[in-house]
Amino acid sequence: MTTETKPVALVTGGTSGIGLAVVRDLARRGHRVFLCARTEQQVKQTVEDLRAEGLEVEGAAADVRDAASVKALVAAAVQAFGPISVLVNNAGRSGGGPTADLTDELWYDVIQTNLNSVFLLTREVLKNGGLEGASYGRIINIASTAGKQGVVLGAPYSASKHGVVGFTKSLGNELAPTGITVNAVCPGYVETPMAQRVRTGYAAAYDTSEEQIMQKFTSKIPLGRYSTPEEVAGLVGYLTTDVASSITAQALNVCGGLGNF
């Protein structure tokens, strides 16, 4: 595959956990991958590390909550690699607590980071990133099993991810005739830095140890363990293939059986 024919992917939150595994998987499948996260040093280091693995990767610091930052990010990706054909909206945050005690700040930030960002990125990549009118395209939103089931002490997170699933189904139907598919990938429990922070939060909320929380969560998973970032990335990679062309407007779980629908 020559550089000119390699498809271009943009992955948000590509410096850690699931996003990093997605960047690596897509680059290994022959994509040129542009990644972002807020922490500039982490972006630089990640790009450097992945290039050392022989992968074609570029990146920039960006905040997906901010429309101007999103605009600059998409412009930078197009400038580096050309029109984008795969967008992976992965950047996200956890957040919750007893609902009566939630601050406005927390609620709005979770919705801004997890849901409004998906709209901002998607619109920008369609309008100015080269996706609108393309004969092939993939929009893949990393939602959660919490986007289909309620999570105790996770109302803002669960609401944001339900929103992502709804947006995905609606846009998937809208774009179905065009050759651009739109799907949500819904991880259950995946071992990442975010998962560690979530366990710390629940341990404090229930006044127990992180080990107890780990045991409680793991016992809910029929497979008996957390999924890996690579297992989530594997489905994202598959969705970019030609044989996945008829999969659109879906929300697909990678969760060891935690979710059943």
Ligand X SMILES: NC(=O)c1ccc[n+]([C@@H]2O[C@H](COP(=O)([O-])OP(=O)(O)OC[C@H]3O[C@@H](n4cnc5c(N)ncnc54)[C@H](OP(=O)(O)O)[C@@H]3O)[C@@H](O)[C@H]2O)c1
Positions annotated as catalytic residues are 157
Distance CA 220, CA 7 (A): 39
CB of 159 to ligand X, least distance (A): 13
CB of 84 to ligand X, least distance (A): 17
**Does 168 engage in binding with ligand X (CB under 6 A)?**
no
Segment near ligand X (CB under 6 A), from 148-156, 167-175, 191-199, 238-246? Answer: 191-199
**Does 17 engage in binding with ligand X (CB under 6 A)?**
yes
Query: In the complex with ligand X, which residue's Cβ is closer, 37 or 165?
Result: 37
User: For residue 238, which of 33, 81, 86 has the smallest C-alpha distance?
Assistant: 86
CB of 141 to ligand X, least distance (A): 9
CB of 132 to ligand X, least distance (A): 23
Sign of the dihedral through C-alpha 167, 173, 178, 179: positive
CB of 5 to ligand X, least distance (A): 29
Q: Which two tokens stand for residue 95?
A: 């957040």
Segment near ligand X (CB under 6 A), from 3-11, 36-44, 118-126, 206-214? Answer: 36-44
Q: Kindly write out the interface string for residues 59-98 of this chain, putting x where it contacts ligand X by CB under 6 A and - elsewhere.
A: ---xxxx------------------------xxxx-----
Buried b (16+ CB within 10 A) or exposed e, 174-191: ebeeeebbbbbbbbbbbe
* Count of residues touching ligand X (by CB under 6 A): 30
Segment near ligand X (CB under 6 A), from 51-59, 100-108, 167-175, 184-192? Answer: 184-192
Identify the burial level of 70 via C-beta atoms within 10 angstroms of its C-beta, where 0-12 means exposed, 13-18 middle and 19 or more buried.
buried
The alpha-carbon radius of gyration of the chain (Å, integer) is 18
Q: Could you give the dihedral angle defined by the CA atoms of residues 123, 127, 133 and 136, in that order, rounded to the nearest 10 degrees?
A: -60
DSSP, residue by residue, 69-82:
HHHHHHHHHHHHHS
Distance CA 33, CA 245 (A): 21
**Does 199 engage in binding with ligand X (CB under 6 A)?**
no
- Contact positions toward ligand X, by CB under 6 A? 12-13, 15-19, 36-39, 42, 62-65, 90-93, 113, 142, 144, 187, 189-190, 192-195
